Amino acid sequence: MEVQNGVAYVRVFVGILRDISKQETVEYMLAMVDEMLTANPKRARLFHDKSFQENEDVYRPFIRLLSKKNWFIQEKSCKILTLIISARQYEEIDSEDPSAPQKKVDSFNEVLRAVVDWLISQMRSPAHPTRGIPTAVSSLATLLRITKVRAIFIKADGTKLLAPLITPASNQQYIQLLYEATLCIWLLSFHDGAVEAFSTARVVPRLVDVVKSSTKEKVVRVAVMAFRNLANKGNFAAELVDLGMPKVVQSLKLQTWSDEDLSQALDVVDAALKDSIRKLSSFDKYKAEVFSGNLDWSPMHKDPVFWRENISKFEENDFQVLRVLITLLDNSRDPKTLAVACHDIAQFIQIHPAGRGIILDLKAKERVMKHMSHPDPEVAKQALLCVQKILLSAKYASYMQ
């Protein structure tokens, strides 16, 4: 198809779709445009030929058809719009030519918002029971390469609808949907505005579950590439450490991957997680957490290196940190704080040469024992393990006297 003839065909197609409302004619025209673009996706550039006048809106007929109560028309229009929009140079879309008329820029931004709104509506309430969501996600996996679309999608709160699709899949149909949804997350991870949206939608834990269970390289690749982008943003590195990603990364690095980008991304994520562990494992950070009165299962609590390297620091200021930790057993009502406190006291007993004697002198045994019957199973478990370490030896030397 020569360019000149191609543009003429496009002008005819757009004109008919703009002026004709008969369903059979619209379906036939859409099928022809779809067939033309499927045979050669580069033909989508014909819709942006300079011969089109400013009043010849090539997008509006297809956007109008998205609202038709006919899935064939909706799906074809979505596919065609995705190809037409993505055929524009991304640089042109993202940088906005200063010489371009403001009216034209505003008009195209409206097109992007209209398409994104329709895609989000399909994810929220699909017009077709099995094709609605996959069609929307597939389109987003292409359009989110455009910076403006990322911003529009995040502002429209689309992330919370995308997040539930990030879940381990078994059959081929769902694997493809998972791949495209994860690809969307990777593309969104380039946008600074995604940090808060990802945290709110709990995207990272979902990605970790997918990486742990997926055997498909393409799925693992885009998930790890997303981790690479997120590792230095917000508190994502610490969250990844807490979710057990260091071991997962080590396991993935032992495997043979055909994609060099994946291997490089794993190296970057590995380095970021190790740096996070180092920062999170300082005694000053531990001390600040204990003094705050709210304990969490941050990495240092279960890091044997942290305890070995910092055990002597617990002796500072007459065991001040340890005394505060024990006080939390009386004063805190938070189950997680109580569980972590019992765990840390047990760690002190195990690592410090005179740990058992010190704990007994500080009258901690009774305070720990009362939590063995705590209604929260994790608190009861940690209290039991701690008491076992206290009672391990009946003979002890009092370190405090």
Question: pTM to 2 decimals?
Answer: 0.72
Task: Check residues 283 and 97 and name the one with the higher pLDDT.
Answer: 283
CB contact set of 366 (below 8 Å; sequence gap of 6+): none
Q: Token pair of 353, please?
A: 């040469």
Burial 126-148 (b: 16+ CB within 10 A, else e): bbeeeebbbbbbbbbbbbbbbeb
171 backbone dihedrals φ, ψ, rounded to 5°: -80, 160
User: Over the stretch 364-388, which tens digit does the pLDDT of each residue have?
Assistant: 999 999 999 999 999 999 999 999 9
The mean pLDDT value of the chain amounts to 89
pLDDT confidence bin for 401, thresholds 50/70/90: very low
pLDDT confidence bin for 256, thresholds 50/70/90: confident
User: Over the stretch 179-192, which tens digit does the pLDDT of each residue have?
Assistant: 999 999 999 999 98
Model confidence at 109: pLDDT above 70: yes
Predicted pLDDT at 99: 55
- Measured between alpha carbons, how far is 173 from 123 in angstroms, rounded to an integer? 17
Predicted pLDDT at 339: 97
Q: Token pair of 71, please?
A: 């899935």
Predicted pLDDT at 2: 53
User: Over the stretch 290-301, which tens digit does the pLDDT of each residue have?
Assistant: 998 999 998 889
- Measured between alpha carbons, how far is 221 from 237 in angstroms, rounded to an integer? 18
Give the three-state DSSP class for 366.
helix
- Measured between alpha carbons, how far is 239 from 226 in angstroms, rounded to an integer? 14
Model confidence at 3: pLDDT above 60: no
Predicted pLDDT at 91: 44
For residue 162, give the nearest of 207, 215, 111 by alpha carbon.
207
Model confidence at 174: pLDDT above 60: yes
pLDDT confidence bin for 92, thresholds 50/70/90: low
Predicted pLDDT at 79: 97
Q: How many Cβ atoms sit within 10 Å of the Cβ of residue 170?
A: 9
User: Over the stretch 135-158, which tens digit does the pLDDT of each residue have?
Assistant: 999 999 999 999 999 999 999 999
- Measured between alpha carbons, how far is 230 from 164 in angstroms, rounded to an integer? 19
CB 227 within 8 A of CB 269: yes
Predicted pLDDT at 100: 57
Mean pLDDT of 229-236: 87
Predicted pLDDT at 300: 86
Model confidence at 272: pLDDT above 70: yes
User: Over the stretch 27-64, which tens digit does the pLDDT of each residue have?
Assistant: 999 999 999 999 999 999 999 888 887 667 899 999 99
Burial 224-237 (b: 16+ CB within 10 A, else e): bbbbbbbbeebebb
Q: Token pair of 248, please?
A: 């997962």
Predicted pLDDT at 395: 45
Residues 258, 260, 266, 272: what is their CA dihedral angle, to the nearest 10 degrees?
180
User: Counting beta carbons within 10 angstroms of the beta carbon of residue 5, is it exposed (0 to 12), middle (13 to 18) or buried (19 or more)?
Assistant: exposed
